[in-house]
Structure 1
Amino acid sequence: MTEHDGAAHLERVVRGWGVGPVVVATVAPAAGDPRTLVVGVDADPALDVELGSVSKALTGLLFEDAIERGEVARTTTLADALPVLGDAPCAAVTLEALATHRSGLPRLPRGSATLRRQWDLVAHGRNPYGESVAEVLAQAARTRLTRKVNALYSNLGYELLGHAVAARAGLPYAELMRTRLAEPLGLASVYVPASSADLRPTAMPGFSPRGRPREAWVGEGLGPAGGVRASVPDVARLAVKLLDQAAPGMAALDPRVRFAGPLRVGSAWMTVPVRHEGQERRITWHNGGTGGFRSFLGLDRERGTAVVAVSPRARALDRPARELLLAL
């Protein structure tokens, strides 16, 4: 099968999902080429999309890379990296606890402002984020921790992790992403817009499942947890680097603690055992969701395969994308 035939076949598979517009890329070994990338499209693959919480997986790479550089340790606390937090409840939380969702921080800051923004998202499609780093730190300082939890998925926690790592490197998070991940790996489409004015002309618009326009999720504070944008082919090129053990911070993919049920987590990256056609497999993955997008990045590290899928109609892709990965 030629690459053109492979792309045509993949597009037929993707259309069969019935989720509307979607861009999917697969990565698999091939004779004469250790990795072959095939893109199936029902939307323009050259445009950059919202990765949502797949951004956390990239922040996990940056965290592990910073450990390797000696800039932070797993025991580094938020107060060590962000002294402005003073004696806030979260000040003593370690970066390792943030990386593995064991900080006790809630998913979002509690309060009327958060509730109002969530309502504006549902009712009007508005961006519920947009805070500066200083505003995120102020939110965190007012937030109480939940005690005696094994795992509590936290967007706020990953915002703090990314900005803490960036602070120890002496860079804003967007620059950390550009200089340590995007540029070294040749991923020109990867960027972190702080506002709608920072969106590139290549920015794909997002929509609700019913096709209603949704504001772009941008914000300086949001970046590490859900504000990274990239084209699907570039995310697939990142997957190639990960499969080849050639990306910064590879330890992020290695599961360290139990998350929930059979799920185990490293630095953001989830690993789950699955049984497929009588064989035990392990999938390493992260997904994402914003007002106008759904995303999935999954790897079978033992087989050297990967799937990237993004829908600009905010329709869940996890199940068909995972099935596609298992079938590669």
Structure 2
Amino acid sequence: MTTAQEELLPGTRRALLHRIAVAQAEGRAPSLVAAVVRGGRTVWTGARTSVEGQAPDENVQYRIGSITKTFTAVLVLRLRDEGALALSDPLERHLPGTGAGGATVAQLLSHSAGLAAETPGPWWERTPGSLRPDLADVLGERPLVHPAGRRLHYSNTGYALLGALVEKLRGAPWEEVLRREVLEPLGLRRTTVHAEAPHAGGWAVHPWADVMLPEPLEDLGLMAPAGQLWSTAADLARFAAFLSGGDERVLSDESLREMRTPAAPAEAADVTSGYAYCLGLEVRHQHGRSLVGHTGSLPGFLACLTAGVADDVSAVVLANCTSGPAPFTVAADLVRIVAEAEPRIPAPWQPLRETPDPAVLELVGQWYWGTAAFALRLRADGLVSLGPLSGNGRRSRFRPQGDGTWVGLEGYYAGEVLRPVRRPEGAVSHLDLGSFVFTRQPYDKEAPVPGGVDPEGWRGIG
């Protein structure tokens, strides 16, 4: 257990332990280890095991399966931030001759490239990667099963291509680039391509009998960027803190926000279940919360890392069984337990550190889009926010562009330009937001309201 664990109340710690104990017992897992992160620090770890006195701690390795994809996505975003590629680039521009070169980098990251889910031939997770020595062996004769960009179709082979892309642009093996650019800067010393003691063994538990069978532990070869890694609860807790807050040595907070933004076309079933895929991350909705992270599985192992960004609580769950406890459900429950028992205490309000530009301060206050009332506020971080005074509606933060205009950062107005329009004498006439006119009074006659304003003005029903 970590010393920081004492930061949680005893009742919270017991509720967390109870949840993983139920998961291990009812899921019939040989062992299960979990961690909770709050405020960028690990505040709780716990474990359960079927072998008395041999419970794993947070430094025992488990295979993490598809959580590996998030690490690969970080490498690709680093290349983008350096200008080595654009997310809109077709794969063919950087990695020619794959047969899937028309798909863009963003589509590969978001599982919308139309690629097949699995490799042809024998089940790649239980067979050695040497059976697939070339990308042609990974993709097969029919790599595409859907038109690119049309739908979310989870593809392990797509991340094999992204790993090959990293190798091509870096001129070094994927695992070497990962270690140098992500693992070492973040201090993830127990996250490795191959198992390093102490590590858990992978087991299959018989569905109708309390007996077990060892699962093979294969080197996945070219499929490694999709699911090869081993890690620990402690390392994944550090990685969760990075995914929530960023680390400029690896990836900026702005790029991580982009990674957390849904990027794949949603299927009707996904909308109903509250699931979306981003750039190497999944978004799921549980207990009224938006949770961002990734699940993972390989024969013998189950894993989940998920973060409630709004609550500033993340959870990691690792188990060494092929099926059993549902790792996302358990992790989501751990987030809920902490968030509800010990709600996040907001940081103290802070004013702007610098004197605001009078031209900006002149813009704040109430505005009307037609008859709908909105408020424009200047924030302590130098951004402005626009949103309805009451109820639901379009809202966004805006970043200054240095020329008197502002660009939207999220929602309907993401990428749209907010432009204050002044009268000849210098006073603000209205705000132009993507052709929408916001005025100080509803349908102000002095502003260029599209369609004009009835000259007789407001009236009653008679």
In 2, distance between residues paired with 1:205 and 1:179? 27
In 1, distance between residues paired with 2:305 and 2:285? 16
In 1, distance between residues paired with 2:259 and 2:76? 8
Equivalent of residue 25 in structure 1, options 31, 35, 48? 35
**Alpha-carbon offset, residue 169 of structure 1:** 1.6
In 1, distance between residues paired with 2:105 and 2:76? 8
In 1, distance between residues paired with 2:266 and 2:131? 30
- Paired position in structure 2 for 1:291: 299
Question: Conserved in 2, the CA contact under 8 Å of 1:14 and 1:22?
Answer: yes
**Alpha-carbon offset, residue 270 of structure 1:** 1.3
Question: Conserved in 2, the CA contact under 8 Å of 1:72 and 1:165?
Answer: no
- Paired position in structure 2 for 1:196: none
- Paired position in structure 2 for 1:151: 152
Per-residue CA deviations over 1:208-247 (Å, capped at 9, x if unaligned) read 1332111114223121100011111100111112222225
Q: Aligned pair in 2 of structure 1 residues 96, 212: CA closer, same or farther (>3 Å)?
A: same
In 2, distance between residues paired with 1:133 and 1:3? 49
The structure with the larger Rg is 2
Question: Conserved in 1, the CA contact under 8 Å of 2:285 and 2:291?
Answer: yes
Aligned length: 301
- Paired position in structure 2 for 1:106: 116
- Paired position in structure 1 for 2:263: 256
After the TM superposition, which residues 1-328 of structure 1 pair with which residues of structure 2 at under 5 Å, given as runs? 2=6, 10-17=16-23, 18=25, 19=27, 20=29, 21-29=31-39, 35-42=41-48, 43-45=55-57, 46-83=59-96, 85=97, 88-110=98-120, 113-114=121-122, 117=123, 127-131=126-130, 134-140=133-139, 142-148=141-147, 149-193=150-194, 199-210=195-206, 211-246=212-247, 248=251, 250=256, 251-260=258-267, 261-262=270-271, 263-274=275-286, 276=287, 280-314=288-322, 315=324, 316-328=326-338
Question: Conserved in 1, the CA contact under 8 Å of 2:16 and 2:334?
Answer: no
Question: Conserved in 2, the CA contact under 8 Å of 1:282 and 1:300?
Answer: yes
In 1, distance between residues paired with 2:13 and 2:108? 39
**Alpha-carbon offset, residue 252 of structure 1:** 1.8
Q: Aligned pair in 2 of structure 1 residues 79, 202: CA closer, same or farther (>3 Å)?
A: farther
Q: Aligned pair in 2 of structure 1 residues 172, 133: CA closer, same or farther (>3 Å)?
A: farther
Question: Conserved in 2, the CA contact under 8 Å of 1:243 and 1:305?
Answer: no
In 2, distance between residues paired with 1:242 and 1:215? 31
Question: Conserved in 2, the CA contact under 8 Å of 1:217 and 1:291?
Answer: no
Per-residue CA deviations over 1:189-211 (Å, capped at 9, x if unaligned) read 11223xxxxx3233321111332
Instruction: Name the one with the larger helix percent.
Output: 1
Q: Aligned pair in 2 of structure 1 residues 153, 203: CA closer, same or farther (>3 Å)?
A: same
Superposed CA RMSD:
2.4
Q: What's the % identity of the aligned pairs?
A: 22
**Alpha-carbon offset, residue 37 of structure 1:** 2.8
SS in 1 for 2:80: helix
TM-score, normalised with respect to structure 2? 0.60
TM-score, normalised with respect to structure 1? 0.83
SS in 1 for 2:89: coil
- Which moves more between the two structures, 140-149 or 200-209? 140-149
**Alpha-carbon offset, residue 132 of structure 1:** 7.7
Structure 2: state its 5+ residue gaps.
49-54, 207-211, 339-462
In 1, distance between residues paired with 2:184 and 2:260? 21
Question: Conserved in 2, the CA contact under 8 Å of 1:27 and 1:37?
Answer: yes
SS in 2 for 1:56: helix
Question: Conserved in 1, the CA contact under 8 Å of 2:129 and 2:221?
Answer: yes
In 1, distance between residues paired with 2:318 and 2:114? 30
Considering Cα pairs closer than 8 Å and 6+ residues apart, tell me whether 1 or 2 has the greater RCO. 1
In 1, distance between residues paired with 2:44 and 2:283? 24
- Which moves more between the two structures, 260-269 or 176-185? 260-269
**Alpha-carbon offset, residue 181 of structure 1:** 0.8
